[in-house]
Amino acid sequence: MIRGTRQKQTTHASRQRKTSSSRRAGASKTTSRRESTHRAVHRVKAKTGVKNAPKTVTKPVDTGRATTLKSFGTAVRYFQKKDFEKAAALFEKVAAGPFRDVADRARVHLRYCERRRRHEKRPKTAEGYYTRGVAALNRRDFDQALDCLNKSNKMTPNQEYVHYALAAAYGLRGEPDSAFNHLEAAIKLRPQNRVQARHDEDFQPLESDPRFARLLGSDGQQPLQ
């Protein structure tokens, strides 16, 4: 009885071990299948994520702002060289532009330039007078602009850009006869000034005058007499 019982127990234990081993093998296969499925799902998600990733949108370059920043940078370089005449002329142009953040910085520099210029001696060269005259013209101080520009023209006659600035200053101050005389001189010295003046807002006060169309209408027309 004892021997037979031991044999049955041994057989029963053997069956339990086999069953346990089979379960472990089955569990291993199930785990392997789950891991394989998980990796496949992960790969699909990864591929889907790549396809659905947001694309970087390149913003168009604002050429107007780029030009303004370039002018501001040039003005700063003149400012650092203590050439306050040229720096002020550029800062005034930037300050009048549509980009408020750059314009505000330009006004800060411009106020400093104005203080320094008031304490500086008068220009000694025609170029110095021209630069100061253009700066005055940009801030619509026509009396100072004409004073400086006429001195520049007297020191170095027949400079087309000086005549052009004088034409703009006289036109804005309401003296069309002098404006057209200097504008015609500027065009004779440099014919390209005809095209430039045609699109220059400083000459808007002269557009209603018949002489404006005669002088700037076409290259084949005769100059004013």
**The predicted structure's pLDDT at residue 113:** 83
- pLDDT band per the 50, 70, 90 thresholds, residue 221: very low
Cβ atoms of 98 and 90 closer than 8 Å: no
Looking at residue 115, its pLDDT comes to 76
Amino acid at 9: Q
What is the average pLDDT score of the chain? 77
Check residues 92 and 12 and name the one with the higher pLDDT. 92
For residues 144 and 133, the answer to whether their CB atoms sit within 8 Å is: yes
Mean pLDDT of 138-146: 90
CATH of domain 127-220: 1.25.40.10
- pLDDT band at 148; cut points 50, 70, 90: very high
* pLDDT band of 209, cuts 50, 70, 90: very high
Helix, strand, coil share (%) of the chain residues, nearest 5:
75, 0, 25
pLDDT above 90 for 79? no
Query: Where along the chain do the CATH 1.25.40.10 domains lie?
Result: 127-220
Q: Does the pTM of the predicted model rise above 0.75?
A: no
Rounded to a whole number of angstroms, the distance between the first and last alpha carbons of the chain is 147
Please report which residue ranges of 1-55 form alpha helices under DSSP H. Answer: 2-51
Q: What local confidence, expressed as pLDDT, does residue 203 receive?
A: 95
Q: Which residues contact 137 (CB under 8 A, 6 or more apart)?
A: 145, 149, 165, 168, 169, 172, 202
Predicted local distance difference test score (pLDDT) of residue 83: 80
pLDDT value at residue 62: 66
